Amino acid sequence: MRKQNIRICIAVLTLAPIFAQPALADDAQADIDAGFVAFQRGDIVAAMGHYTMAADAGSAEGQARLAWILDQSEQNEEAVKWYRASADQGHSGGQYGLGEMYAKGEGVEKDESLAVEYFVLAADNGHAQSQRVLINAYEKGLLGLTVDLEKAAVLRHRLDEQQQAASEDVN
């Protein structure tokens, strides 16, 4: 009987992380929501606390939101760390933020080609501001890109379609 109880305990402990994952995801989303509420009321310290908990739990959205606050407060190296963690999970906000850091050379060595790579990843994930940055870069020859009005027009058309679809979803 005792050996059977030990085997059951070992099985439970072995499987616990698998069953805990949805709870962790729910906790991270609760922290993101609480962080947003705190941010909206101007309590940046509380917002950072909630976003840090979500980020530490592996939430790409929590990582991107925490990185943005750190970026705004000129804690650039720490912002890059969290933007990168978010971007590595395919989060468009993290990709955009990391692109911005490379474009400006904040927290990392300035690298316009890497900035463009991250802006393209984010734009491909539907990130509107990344699309605007690339449109502007192609229209004016920024970020080391040559002027390419055709690429800018394609991006503008895609952005317009995306915005039209979003406005239809609201109605």
Residue 124 has pLDDT above 90, yes or no: yes
* Predicted TM-score of the model (pTM): 0.81
**64-115: per-residue pLDDT in tens?**
999 999 999 999 999 999 999 999 999 999 999 999 999 999 999 999 999 9
What integer pLDDT is reported at residue 167 of this predicted model?
A: 83
How much is the pLDDT for 116? 98
| pLDDT the model gives residue 117 | 98
Find the mean pLDDT for residues 149-166. Answer: 93
Does residue 5 have a pLDDT over 60?
Answer: no
Least confident of 4-18, 60-74, 151-165: 4-18
Is the pLDDT assigned to residue 149 strictly greater than 70? yes
Which of 38-47, 115-124, 159-168 is the least confident region? 159-168
Task: Specify whether the CB–CB gap between 66 and 48 falls below 8 A.
Answer: yes
How far, rounded to the nearest angstrom, does the alpha carbon of residue 91 sit from its chain's CA centroid? 4
Q: Name the residue with tokens 């400006």.
A: 104
Average pLDDT score over the chain: 87
Question: Alpha-carbon distance 99 to 106, whole Å?
Answer: 10
* N- to C-terminal Cα separation, the chain: 63
Burial group, residue 66, by CB count within 10 angstroms (0-12, 13-18, 19+) = buried
Residue 164 has pLDDT above 80, yes or no: yes
Is 50 exceeded by the pLDDT of residue 163?
yes
